Homo-oligomer: A and B are copies of this chain.
Amino acid sequence: MKMIQVVLVDDHSIVRDGVRATLKDQKNIKIIGEASNGKDAVKLVSELEPDVVIMDIAMPEMNGIEATDLLTKKKIQSKVIILSMHDNETYVLKSVEAGAMGYLLKDVDKEEFVKAINVVASGEKYFNTTISTLLVNGYLNKVKQGELKTSEDESEGEFDLTKRERGILKMIVDGRNNREIADGLGISVRTIETHRANIMKKLKVKNAVELVKVAIEEKIV
């Protein structure tokens, strides 16, 4: 069984002590170096090229996500597992964007920690079930807000426009002038102007530019 070389990056020595204690009796995992900020981590990892880097996020000089990003950009082959107390979706997603292969919370149990290191060292991503719940809940929050927004947009989008008005507004937004719209509908240009004036009054705008912007923003058309 191949020895997995690990570099440990955290600004709190207590955490580093804890991780060291956790891994000390793993036959195939060896901590070969430590750093306490992102900047030193990049330097150290570039030199040592460990298999796995255990990286905290919140650190002085350069945070763990930035350090991960830099390592990714320098094409260092070491695989980063973020070990963080930050349990929110944004940190997870930013980390994976930066190139992290795993994300664990600091309350992870020893067994899963070891498993994560082994999985990631083998080239697979590892995110435990807590992370799934984070991502799913984050998504549901977005949908909820999206739904609220959608309903608001729809109710605000009404604006008391008649069916005809709505149709004419659509053609205006298409970039057609009054002449073109009238010809298309087989009615008088004067009628189009009237509708146009009525629409602008209802939407409380003073010219075509504002009209188009409101129509698009409020999803009227």
Residues of A at the B interface (CB closer than 8 Å) are 92-93, 96-97, 124-129, 131-133, 135-137, 139-140, 143, 172-173, 175, 177, 205-210, 212-213, 216
A-B contacts, 19 of them at CB < 8 A, read A92-B136, A97-B139, A97-B143, A125-B133, A125-B136, A125-B137, A127-B129, A127-B132, A127-B133, A127-B136, A128-B132, A132-B132, A172-B209, A173-B213, A175-B213, A207-B208, A208-B208, A208-B209, A209-B212
**A100 — nearest CB in chain B belongs to which residue?**
B136
Q: Is the CB of B140 within 8 A of A210?
A: no
**When chains A and B are docked, how far (Å) is the Cα of A173 from the Cα of B133?**
43
Q: Is the CB of B175 within 8 A of A206?
A: yes
Contacts of A124 in B (CB 8 A): 133
Cβ 8 A contact of A135, one of B132, B143, B208:
B132
**A137 — nearest CB in chain B belongs to which residue?**
B125
Q: Is the CB of A209 within 8 A of B175?
A: yes
**When chains A and B are docked, how far (Å) is the Cα of A129 from the Cα of B213?**
45
Looking at the assembled complex, report how far the CB atom of A156 sits from the nearest CB atom of chain B, in whole angstroms: 18
Contacts of A208 in B (CB 8 A): 207-209
**When chains A and B are docked, how far (Å) is the Cα of A172 from the Cα of B207?**
11
Cβ 8 A contact of A212, one of B96, B126, B127, B212:
B212
Contacts of A126 in B (CB 8 A): 129, 133
Cβ 8 A contact of A207, one of B139, B177, B213:
B177
Contacts of A175 in B (CB 8 A): 205-207, 209-210, 213
**A172 — nearest CB in chain B belongs to which residue?**
B209
Q: Contacts A97-B140, A125-B137, A129-B132 known; list 12 others, CB within 8 Å.
A: A125-B133, A127-B129, A127-B132, A127-B136, A131-B136, A175-B205, A208-B208, A209-B209, A209-B212, A212-B213, A213-B216, A216-B216
